[in-house]
Structure 1
Amino acid sequence: MASNSDLSISCADPLLTEAQAAHLLALKQTTLQQWRIRGTGPAYIKLGAAAVRYRRSTLETWLNDRTVHSTVDDVPQRIREAAFAQAGGGFTTAASYRAGLPLAGSPAAALAMAADEGARA
């Protein structure tokens, strides 16, 4: 039997039905269903053959992990790296772009390395 402390934990982080989770995320239930089929979307709990629940904290974390600050952040890193490498160099991530750090192996990185070695000589 669950103790009172176990019950208070579950009340603090309630399990939401698919309909409640969809409402919280401002999505259709069918979107959540498709994401589960594809293996994407927020993690869920399977309670039976058809009973699916979502932890509220999991949904909030999932949303927070998808917050972007610019369109550069919205493009997957592998696509950015491929595009910059194809163009002859560039930056690996939005953070390195803002910091001015060149893509390893790019012409800009080679120049930076040469300048650093020259400064040490």
Structure 2
Amino acid sequence: MADELLSPKQVRASYGFREQTLAQWRWMGQGPDYIKTSPGRSGRIKYKRSAIEAWLDAQTVRTGGAAA
């Protein structure tokens, strides 16, 4: 089964991250990996659901370990 591709608007609906926050993270080289369909400002941005889930897992702070 193919990995679901989400637009920034769909990411907001599913995970609560605003489109502007996602854009800022892309500009800063942070946040989840993304796909840009063509170069330049006209390129559409898509996120693989698995990339978002992996990024969230990497951000998870485990309790009982080192101080956050």
**TM-score per shorter chain, which class?**
0.7 to 0.9
Larger Rg, first or second structure (1 or 2)? 1
Structure with the higher helix share, 1 or 2: 1
Q: Which amino acid is the alignment partner of residue 50 of structure 1?
A: G
Q: In 1, Cα distance between the equivalents of 2:52 and 2:14?
A: 8
1:62 aligns with 2:55: yes
Matching residue's letter, 1:58: A
Identity of aligned residues (%): 37
Residue 14 of structure 1 deviates from its aligned partner by 0.8
Larger RCO (CA under 8 A, 6+ residues apart): 2
Q: Following superposition, which runs of at least 4 residues in structure 1 exceed 3 angstroms of deviation? A: none
Match of 2:29 in 1: 39
RMSD of aligned C-alpha atoms? 1.5
**Structure richer in strand, relative to its length:** 2
- TM-score scaled by length of structure 1: 0.48
Distance 1:39 1:27 in 2: 16
Aligned residue pairs, count: 63
Unaligned runs of 5+ in 1: 1-8, 75-121
1:20 maps to what in 2? 10
What is the distance in 1 between the residues matched to 2:13 and 2:32?
14
CA deviations 1:29-78 (Å, max 9, x no partner) are: 10000000111100000002330000000101111111112471x3xxxx
Q: C-alpha distance in 1, partners of 2:56/2:48?
A: 13
